Copies of this chain bind each other. A is one copy, B any other.
């Protein structure tokens, strides 16, 4: 059922994030220059607020169960160029200027393999 609150969330100008039962939103980061998807992660309320306050991408690490400033250790922070939310405000899209590779494997993007005929193929 679509409620008045849902309608306001979709058409309004009020930031009203819809966190799921675990308190999370999906967050996708693209490279503002190449347009490539760099990574997909999650944000809790604190991660979203820190991202908005600092202009640097923060996430929630589900495996470590802790706030995660991307690049805190590696220095490969992601500077926010633009941040958007979607229709029902349960996802975030960040267009970022990355200071280095997004992936912990050293690759520019975490999405370095395509699926072909049920197998993975490394993208050049």
Contacts and interface: CB of A to CB of B under 8 A. Distances in A.
A124 interface: no
Identical chains in the assembly: 2
Contact of A13 (B39, B111, B119): B119
A84 interface: yes
Interface in A3-58: 10-15, 20, 26, 28, 30, 35, 37, 39-40, 52
Interface residues of A, number: 41
Interface in A46-100: 52, 62, 82-88, 91, 93
Interface of A: 10-15, 20, 26, 28, 30, 35, 37, 39-40, 52, 62, 82-88, 91, 93, 103-105, 107, 110-115, 118-123
